[in-house]
Structure 1
Amino acid sequence: MLDAQTAPAAPHVTRREDYAPPVWLVPTIDLVFDLDPARTSVSATMQVELKEGAGGPLRLDGGGGLRPLTVAVDGQPAEWRMEGDQLVLDLAGRAHEVAIAVEIAPEANTQLMGLYASGGLLCTQCEAEGFRRIMFFPDRPDVLSRYTVRMTADKARFPVLLANGDHVGGGDLDDGRHWAQWRDPFPKPCYLFALVAGDLACRADQFITRSGRTVALGIYTAQSDLPKTEHAMAALKASMAWDEQVYGREYDLAVFNIVAVGDFNFGAMENKGLNIFNSRYILADPDTATDADYDAVAGVVAHEYFHNWSGNRVTCRDWFQLSLKEGFTVFRDQQFSADQGSHAVKRIEDVRALRAAQFPEDAGPLAHPIRPESYLEIGNFYTATVYNKGAEVIRMLHTLLGAERFRKGTDLYFTRHDGTATTCDAFVDAMEDASGEDLSRFRLWYSQAGTPRVKASLVHETGGGRARLTLEQSVPATPGQRDKQPMVLPLRLALFSAETGKRLAAQMVVMQDAREEIVFEGVSERPILSINRDFSAPVIVETDRSPADLAFLSAHDDDPFARYEAVQQLMLDTLVAGAARGEADHRPVIAAVRDTLADAHLDPAFVAETMLIPTESFVGDQMLVVDPEAIRRTRDALRRDLGRELLEQWRAIYAANHSNRFEYNPTAKGMRRLKTIALGFLAVGGAEDAAALAFGQFNDADNMTDRQGALGVLANGTAPERETALAAFYDRYRGDSLVLDKWFTTQALSMRADTPEQVERLARHPDFTLTNPNRLRSLVGAFTANQYAFHDPSGRGYRFLADMVLAADRLNPQTAAKLIPPLGRWRRLEPTRAALMKAELERMLATPGLSKDVFEQVSKSLA
Structure 2
Amino acid sequence: MRTEQPKMIYLKDYQAPEYLIDETHLTFELFEDHSLVHAQLLMRRNPARGAGLPPLVLDGQQLELLSVKLADQDLGATDYQLSDSHLTLHPASERFTVDTSVRIHPETNTALEGLYKSGGMFCTQCEAEGFRKITYYLDRPDVMSVFTTTVIAEQHRYPVLLSNGNPVGNGPQDDGRHWATWEDPFMKPAYLFALVAGDLWCVEDSFSTLSGRDVALRIYVEPENIDKCQHAMNSLKKSMRWDEEVYGREYDLDIFMIVAVNDFNMGAMENKGLNIFNSSCVLARAETATDAAHQRVEAVVAHEYFHNWSGNRVTCRDWFQLSLKEGFTVFRDAEFSADMNSRTVKRIEDVAYLRTHQFAEDAGPMAHAVRPDSFIEISNFYTLTVYEKGSEVVRMLRTLLGEAGFRKGSDLYFERHDGQAVTCDDFIKAMEDANGADLTQFKRWYSQAGTPRLEVSEHYDAAAQTYSLTLRQSCPATPDKVEKLPFVIPVELGLLDAQGTDIALRLAGEAAAGGTSRVLSVTEAEQTFTFVDVALQPLPSLLRGFSAPVKLSFPYSRDQLMFLMQHDSDGFNRWEAGQQLAVQVLQELIVQHRQGQALVLDQRLVTALGTVLADERLDQAMVAEMLSLPSEAYLTEISEVADIDAIHAAREFTRQQLADSLFDALWARYQANRELSKRTPYIAAAEHFARRSLQNIALSYLMLSGKPQVLAAALEQFDASDNMTERLTALAVLVNSPFAEEKAKALGVFAENFKDNPLVMDQWFSVQAGSSQPGALERVKALMSHPAFNLKNPNKVRALVGAFAGQNLINFHAADGSGYRFLADLVIQLNGFNPQIASRQLAPLTRWRKYDSARQALMKAELERIRACGELSSDVFEVVSKSLA
- Between the aligned partners of 2:463 and 2:809, the Cα distance in structure 1 is 50
Within 5 Å, which residues of 2 pair with 1:638-657?
A: 638-657=654-673
Is 1:66 equivalent to 2:63 in the alignment?
A: yes
Which residue pairs with 1:852 in the alignment?
A: 874
Which residue pairs with 1:673 in the alignment?
A: 693
Which residue pairs with 1:745 in the alignment?
A: 766
Which residue pairs with 1:294 in the alignment?
A: 294
Is 1:628 equivalent to 2:626 in the alignment?
A: no
Within 5 Å, which residues of 2 pair with 1:405-554?
A: 405-503=405-503, 505=505, 506-554=517-565
How far the C-alpha of 1:234 sits from its partner, in A, is 0.6
Aligned alpha-carbon RMSD (Å): 1.3
- Between the aligned partners of 1:861 and 1:694, the Cα distance in structure 2 is 44
Which residue pairs with 1:602 in the alignment?
A: 618
3-state SS, counterpart of residue 537 of structure 1? coil
3-state SS, counterpart of residue 689 of structure 1? helix
8 Å CA contact 1:206–1:214 kept in 2: the answer is: yes
Which residue pairs with 2:283 in the alignment?
A: 283
Within 5 Å, which residues of 2 pair with 1:81-96?
A: 81-96=81-96
Within 5 Å, which residues of 2 pair with 1:733-812?
A: 733-785=754-806, 786-812=808-834
Is 1:34 equivalent to 2:34 in the alignment?
A: no
Of 627-636 and 453-462, deviating more is: 453-462
Which residue pairs with 1:24 in the alignment?
A: 19
8 Å CA contact 1:8–1:84 kept in 2: the answer is: no
Deviations 1:792-841 (A, max 9, x none): 11111111111111111111101111111110111110011110000000
Deviations 1:136-177 (A, max 9, x none): 001000000111111111000000000000101110111111
How far the C-alpha of 1:751 sits from its partner, in A, is 1.7
8 Å CA contact 1:586–1:641 kept in 2: the answer is: no
Which residue pairs with 1:823 in the alignment?
A: 845
8 Å CA contact 1:643–1:686 kept in 2: the answer is: no
8 Å CA contact 2:23–2:146 kept in 1: the answer is: yes
- Between the aligned partners of 2:688 and 2:149, the Cα distance in structure 1 is 46
3-state SS, counterpart of residue 610 of structure 2? helix
- Between the aligned partners of 2:203 and 2:32, the Cα distance in structure 1 is 26
How far the C-alpha of 1:249 sits from its partner, in A, is 0.5
8 Å CA contact 1:821–1:861 kept in 2: the answer is: no
Amino acid at match of 1:822: P
Instruction: Give the length in aligned residue pairs.
Output: 856
Which residue pairs with 1:250 in the alignment?
A: 250
Which residue pairs with 1:731 in the alignment?
A: 752
8 Å CA contact 2:217–2:257 kept in 1: the answer is: yes
Structure 2 segments unaligned to the other structure (5+ residues): 506-516, 594-598
- Between the aligned partners of 2:836 and 2:522, the Cα distance in structure 1 is 39
Amino acid at match of 2:662: L
Of 495-504 and 410-419, deviating more is: 495-504
TM-score relative to the length of structure 2: 0.95
How far the C-alpha of 1:407 sits from its partner, in A, is 0.6
How far the C-alpha of 1:37 sits from its partner, in A, is 3.2
- Between the aligned partners of 1:504 and 1:592, the Cα distance in structure 2 is 27
Amino acid at match of 1:623: S
8 Å CA contact 1:159–1:199 kept in 2: the answer is: yes
Amino acid at match of 1:643: A
8 Å CA contact 1:644–1:686 kept in 2: the answer is: no
3-state SS, counterpart of residue 253 of structure 2? coil
Amino acid at match of 2:254: A
Deviations 1:433-465 (A, max 9, x none): 000111000000000000111111223333332
8 Å CA contact 1:257–1:273 kept in 2: the answer is: yes
In structure 2, which of residues 553, 559, 583 is the aligned counterpart of residue 572 of structure 1?
Answer: 583
3-state SS, counterpart of residue 657 of structure 1? helix
How far the C-alpha of 1:760 sits from its partner, in A, is 2.1
Amino acid at match of 1:589: L
8 Å CA contact 2:500–2:563 kept in 1: the answer is: no
- Between the aligned partners of 1:171 and 1:459, the Cα distance in structure 2 is 79
8 Å CA contact 1:574–1:584 kept in 2: the answer is: no
- Between the aligned partners of 1:624 and 1:352, the Cα distance in structure 2 is 19
- Between the aligned partners of 1:507 and 1:145, the Cα distance in structure 2 is 47
- Between the aligned partners of 1:755 and 1:774, the Cα distance in structure 2 is 20
8 Å CA contact 1:268–1:275 kept in 2: the answer is: yes
8 Å CA contact 1:784–1:822 kept in 2: the answer is: yes
How far the C-alpha of 1:419 sits from its partner, in A, is 0.4
3-state SS, counterpart of residue 426 of structure 2? helix
8 Å CA contact 1:744–1:779 kept in 2: the answer is: yes
8 Å CA contact 2:490–2:520 kept in 1: the answer is: yes
Is 1:842 equivalent to 2:864 in the alignment?
A: yes
- Between the aligned partners of 1:771 and 1:75, the Cα distance in structure 2 is 42
Is 1:833 equivalent to 2:855 in the alignment?
A: yes
Amino acid at match of 2:590: A
- Between the aligned partners of 2:260 and 2:167, the Cα distance in structure 1 is 20
Which residue pairs with 1:718 in the alignment?
A: 738
How far the C-alpha of 1:636 sits from its partner, in A, is 0.9
Amino acid at match of 1:825: R
8 Å CA contact 1:691–1:721 kept in 2: the answer is: no
8 Å CA contact 1:497–1:504 kept in 2: the answer is: no
3-state SS, counterpart of residue 284 of structure 2? coil
Amino acid at match of 1:647: F
| CA distance 1:169–1:434, change in 2 (3 Å) | same
In structure 2, which of residues 21, 44, 50 is the aligned counterpart of residue 49 of structure 1?
Answer: 44
3-state SS, counterpart of residue 397 of structure 1? helix
How far the C-alpha of 1:93 sits from its partner, in A, is 1.5
- Between the aligned partners of 1:286 and 1:841, the Cα distance in structure 2 is 42
| CA distance 1:620–1:131, change in 2 (3 Å) | same
How far the C-alpha of 1:502 sits from its partner, in A, is 4.9
How far the C-alpha of 1:356 sits from its partner, in A, is 2.2
Which residue pairs with 1:206 in the alignment?
A: 206
3-state SS, counterpart of residue 821 of structure 2? helix
Is 1:272 equivalent to 2:283 in the alignment?
A: no
Deviations 1:734-790 (A, max 9, x none): 111000000010011112122222122222323221110000000111111221111
Amino acid at match of 2:733: V
8 Å CA contact 1:37–1:122 kept in 2: the answer is: no
Of 723-732 and 678-687, deviating more is: 678-687
3-state SS, counterpart of residue 211 of structure 2? coil
3-state SS, counterpart of residue 773 of structure 2? coil
8 Å CA contact 2:500–2:568 kept in 1: the answer is: no
8 Å CA contact 1:408–1:434 kept in 2: the answer is: yes
3-state SS, counterpart of residue 393 of structure 2? helix
Which residue pairs with 1:4 in the alignment?
A: none
8 Å CA contact 1:571–1:589 kept in 2: the answer is: yes
- Between the aligned partners of 2:439 and 2:535, the Cα distance in structure 1 is 37
How far the C-alpha of 1:522 sits from its partner, in A, is 2.4
Deviations 1:349-408 (A, max 9, x none): 111121122110001111000101111000000000000000000000000000111011
- Between the aligned partners of 2:589 and 2:532, the Cα distance in structure 1 is 38
How far the C-alpha of 1:685 sits from its partner, in A, is 3.6
Structure 1 segments unaligned to the other structure (5+ residues): 1-6
How far the C-alpha of 1:690 sits from its partner, in A, is 2.3
- Between the aligned partners of 1:51 and 1:325, the Cα distance in structure 2 is 25
